[in-house]
Amino acid sequence: MSLRDQIGYGENIMWSGKKAVKVSVLESVFNPMLPFALIWLLFDGGMILAMSATGSSGPGFMGAFLGVFFLIHLMPVWIYLGGVITSALKAKNTEYLITDKGIYVQSGIFTRRVDMKPFTDLSHVSIRQGVFDRMCGTGDIISTCGHGHGAGGDICNITDYEHVFRLVKQLQEDIYSDTMYPNDMRPAENHGYRTQYTREQDW
């Protein structure tokens, strides 16, 4: 079942897109664990090469024991590589959809999860660009809720982030205005909206 099949009845799709896999992989590769994983790999790799060159490992039980030992001892490297592979798979399966009601985010690798953040819950919308976002021309749309639950609605690593930011901001403002000031409560004329100070004040 696609993400489009998850939206509510009567909702209109305003935008849809997917997460950029390249940026997600770069962010995962160049993370704080990279130096630690490299040092660990060089240390264990040097020991393995030295033991292989001198024949210290030997055949039979000792060779099998050392092989299992280094497989376990290299666990930090496997965790790092697993994080890189996982980030690529997550990015490939992440899809975004914006309707006139809210933001839908589909994610997951082996299982799929769909989160929906209504525009009525949004209080702030902002753009965030990391180093690799600027290099690849992508950006993140960060949305926060007034009640403090901000997870589930961020749109990360997309190319048309400026357009999406303006769209989300406009929809959030429109729906907030409709919620706070329904049509039946609005005056026929509102001279205080979008006005500028033109009269000089004597202070």
CATH number assigned to the domain comprising residue 9: 2.30.29
When pLDDT is cut at 50, 70 and 90, the band that residue 194 belongs to is low
Domain boundary among 70, 91, 112: 91
| Residues 13 and 100 reside in one and the same domain | yes
Tokens of 62: 């000792």
| Residues 83 and 113 reside in one and the same domain | no
Q: Are strands 95-99 and 102-107 parallel, antiparallel or unpaired?
A: antiparallel
When pLDDT is cut at 50, 70 and 90, the band that residue 149 belongs to is low
| Residues 12 and 110 reside in one and the same domain | yes
3 state DSSP class of 191: coil
Residues 15, 19: Cα–Cα separation, whole Å: 13
- Give bridge partners of residue 142 from the DSSP assignment: 126
Q: What is the pTM of this model?
A: 0.75
| Residues 146 and 80 reside in one and the same domain | no
Judged by average pLDDT, the poorest of 36-50, 86-100, 184-198 is 184-198
When pLDDT is cut at 50, 70 and 90, the band that residue 47 belongs to is confident
Count of positions (residues) in the chain: 203
Number of domains in the chain: 2
| Residues 63 and 152 reside in one and the same domain | no
| Residues 85 and 121 reside in one and the same domain | no
Residues 78, 73: Cα–Cα separation, whole Å: 10
